[in-house]
Amino acid sequence: MKGCGLKNAHPVVGFLYFLSVFLLSLSMSHPVIAAVSLLFAVFYDGYLKGKKAVKSIVFAVVPVVLFVPLINGLFSHYGVTVLFVMKSGNSFTFEAVVYGLFLAVKFLSVMFWLDCFNEIIDGDKFVYLFGRFSPRLALVISMTLRFIPMLRDGYSEIEKAGRGIGFSDSDKNLVKKFKDTAHKLSVLITWVLERAIDTSYSMKARGYGAKRRSAYSKYVFTSFDGLLCAVVAALSGLSCFCVFGLRALYNPIIIIDSFTLPDTLSFASFVMLLLLVYAVDIREKKLVKPFEERKPDGYLMYG
C-alpha cells in the first residue's frame, strides 16, 4: 500500500515530519525552494491517493496559479518593470505578478502537505496525538468523530422518513422549504438529546467518573521510530540553513540570492527530507517481501 511506511510508523513520527515540512514551507522566501516543496507535495499527494486524485489536484492547482498573480498585479503596484498602465492610472508591474506567483506556490504547497497529513494521520492517530495532553480531551475527540457521521446519517434518515409521509422537498415555496428544514433539524435535535441520555447511562454503567481515567493507545514506539524521529529532526535542522538563509526581494526590483556551497548542501538535506517518505515505504515493502516469496515445503505438496 502506498504510504504504508509512514502510516505504520508511530503517530509521533508522522506528526513531527509534517510539522517540520509545514513550518519550513511557511517560512521559505526563495522561489526555487518553494517550487521544489510544491512539486514534492503534489507528487506525494498523488502517490498516496492515486490517479483519480491527481486529476482533481490539477484542477485545483491551475486556477490558483493563474488567479493569485493576476489579483496581486491588479491591486499591488510596486516594482520598476511596468508591463502596462491600467485605466485607473495605476501600473501593472512584472514584480507584483512574480510575487503573486510565489505566494500562490507557497500557499498551494502548504495546502497539499495538509492533504497528505490528513491521509497519513487518521482519526485514531489524531485522538492519540491530542489525547497526550489529557485523556479527557482524547475522549471528547473520539466522541466527536463518532457523532459527526451519526448526525449526517440521522439527517438523511429523517429526510427520507418525512418524504414517505408527504413532506416533500420539491415544494417550490421558499418559506415552506425553510420551515421544513427547521422541522427536520428539530427532529434531529430531539433524537440527539434522547440519544445523549442513553449514552450517559452507558458511560456511567462502565464506570465513567468512578476513577481517574487512563488513556490507552494501540501504538508502540519502536527503536526504528526513534531513529526516524532523529533523522527527521536532523534533516529539518540542516534545511533551516537554506530556508531561512536564502532570501528573495520583490520590491522594487527582484533580487534572488544565489546558492553557495553550504546552501546547496542544506538544500540537498531538504530534498532528502522530502524523499524520506518514499524511503520508509521501500523499507516497509522489503520487510514484507520474504514472506510473499516463501514456497510451501515439498513434502506438503507431494505427500
Partner 1 sequence: MDKFDFEADNLSFFYPGETVPALDKISFRIAPGEFVLITGRSGSGKTTLLRALKPSLSFEGEYSGSRLFFGKDPASFPAVEEAQNIGFVLQNPDFQAVTHTVRSELAFGLENLGFDTPTIRMRTAEAAAYFGLEDIFDQPLSALSGGKLQLVCLASIIALHPKAILLDEPLSQLDPMTCDSFIGALRRLSLENAITVILSEHRLEKVLPVADRIFVMEDGKLTFDARPCDITKKELEKNDFLKAAVPSSARIVAGLGMEPGSALNVRDAKRLLDSVFPNEPAYKRIEREENGMETATPAVELKNVTFSYDESKRVLNGFTLTVRQNRFVGILGANAAGKTTMLRLMGGIYRSYAGKILLFGRNIKKYSDKELFRGTVALLPQKVHMLFAGNTVEEDLRRVLDTVDLPKEEKEELFSRTVGFFSLETLLSRHPYDISQGEMQRAAFCMAMLRRPKLLLLDEPTKGMDALFKRELGEKIRSLVKGGMTVVAVSHDSEFCAEYCDECAFICDGICSKPCPSGDFFSDNFFYTTEANKISRHIFENAVTETEVLALCRKNQNGR
Binding footprint of partner 1 on the chain (CB under 8 A)? 123-124, 127, 135, 139, 142-143, 145-146, 149-150, 153-154, 157-158, 160-171, 183, 186-187, 189-191, 194-195, 198-199, 201-218
The three state secondary structure string of 52-76 is HHHHHHHHHHHHHHHHHHHHHHHHC
Encode burial over 104-121: b for 16+ CB neighbours within 10 A, e otherwise: bbbbbbbbbbbbbbebbb
Residue 16 or 135: the one with the smaller Cβ distance to partner 1 is 135
Helix (H) or strand (E) holding 174: helix 174-205
Nearer to partner 1, 4 or 139 (CB): 139
- Rg for the chain (alpha carbons), in Å? 27
* Least CB distance to partner 1 at residue 9 (A): 16
Min dist CB 46 to partner 1, Å, is 22
Beta strands in the chain (DSSP E): 82-85, 91-93, 248-249, 255-256
Cα angle, residue 15 at apex, residues 13 and 21 outer, rounded to 5°: 105
Q: Which is nearer to partner 1, 89 or 207 (CB)?
A: 207
Closest CB 222 distance from partner 1, rounded Å: 15
Q: How far apart are CA 11 and CA 13, in angstroms?
A: 5
The CB-of-33 to partner 1 minimum distance in angstroms stands at 38
CB of 156 to partner 1, least distance (A): 10
Among residues 56 and 168, whose Cβ is nearest to partner 1?
Answer: 168
CA dist., res. 303 & res. 297, Å (int): 10
Closest distance of CB 199 from partner 1, Å: 6
Query: Cα torsion for 287, 293, 294, 299, to the nearest 10°?
Result: 180
Pick between residue 88 and residue 170 the one whose CB is nearest to partner 1: 170
Phi-psi region of 91 (alpha: psi -120 to 50; beta: other; left: phi over 0): beta
Helix, strand, or coil (residue 13)? helix
Q: State the nearest-atom distance from the C-beta of 285 to partner 1, in Å.
A: 21
Closer to partner 1 by CB, 215 or 271: give it: 215
* 173 vs 258, beta carbon nearer partner 1: 173
Helix, coil or strand: residue 253: coil
